[in-house]
Amino acid sequence: MRYSRNPGVRRARHRLAPTKSLFAAVSVLLMLAGCATTPVAPPVSVAPSPVTAEELVAKLQEREAAVRTLKALFTVEASGSALKSPQRMEAALIYQRPGNIRLQTFARLGFPLFDLLLSEGQYQLRFPLQGTTQKGAVSDLDHKSGVDAPVTLGLQAIMGSLGGVIVSTDQVSLREEQNQYVVDVMASSDRTLVARRLWVSQQTLNIVRQDLFDVAGHPMATMTYQDYRVVGTTSAGPLAWPSRVFAEGGMKGGVARAKLTITFHDIVPNPELAVKDWGPLQAGRQAETVVAPSGFTGQP
């Protein structure tokens, strides 16, 4: 480093140095002040493109068809007039399109409560602790099993986030309400009474609520779906599944026969299924005397 030998020059340079530093500091402060006062534009939310009833139904059908098989583990908290007392149980479900289902439930200590198999319009219900089995048509399940309302409502709630089956003979109408699509599915002979009503998020096209009605148009059950999370990928794209479902069913005089809170712990879409996944129930077994598991009533 070189210095000038002239003391006067050296002193002059020493006097200029602070001035340059001060000028640089002021420049930085002005730049920062300018940045602080410059308004930042908020992120622009992109509104979803509107869909028609046909487009929405096609999307729901595509999503439902893409789930060929399913395995699920979840917790069920059940109450209502169909139960002697509130129940909490763990459950495991096996599903295969279009309608094969196995549902196993266990008490908190791991004791099996019941093992239900649905296949080809028939059901078999086994109570392992009692060593008894029942079978019959699925349409009779609501009246004979002793676990009718909770089981039926639970199956409707579990699979409801896929949208259910909407066939070509159904009349479908669509309207918008509070950032949601409301889809009315009318399946009666004259196609004027609503059989199902779906509330669908406009942002994600996930079902957030479903109402079911009887043949006279009276409310039969309602389900809400919360906190969707992606659980895998199917041919229809990423599959989102609700972490929690609330359901009420069997309405009579304003009182629900069953109220369920279902909390999912694990969802596996499209796993390979083996014969052992369907358990010990055999289609040819002779029906035995039915004993409802502890906590359930057998009365409609």
Q: How many domains does the chain have?
A: 2
What CATH number does residue 131 fall under?
Answer: 2.50.20.10
2 shares its domain with 144: no
118 shares its domain with 3: no
What pTM value is reported for the model?
0.75
**pLDDT tens track for 119-152:** 888 899 999 988 898 888 887 776 655 566 788 8
10 shares its domain with 123: no
Residue 35 lies in a domain: yes
| All residues at 6 or more sequence positions from 87 whose CB lies less than 8 Å from its CB, including other chains | 76, 77, 78, 79, 295, 296
107 shares its domain with 256: yes
32 shares its domain with 141: no
35 shares its domain with 69: no
- Per-10-residue mean pLDDT for the chain, 300 residues long? 41 44 41 46 58 92 94 92 83 92 89 90 89 85 64 88 82 92 84 89 95 88 96 95 93 76 96 90 42 37
57 shares its domain with 27: no
Residue 297 lies in a domain: no
Question: Residue 287 phi/psi, 5° resolution?
Answer: -65, 140
Structural domain boundaries enclosing 217: 53-278
77 shares its domain with 157: yes
Residue 44 lies in a domain: no
Whole-number pLDDT of residue 135: 87
188 shares its domain with 164: yes
Whole-number pLDDT of residue 1: 43
**pLDDT tens track for 3-23:** 334 444 444 444 444 444 444
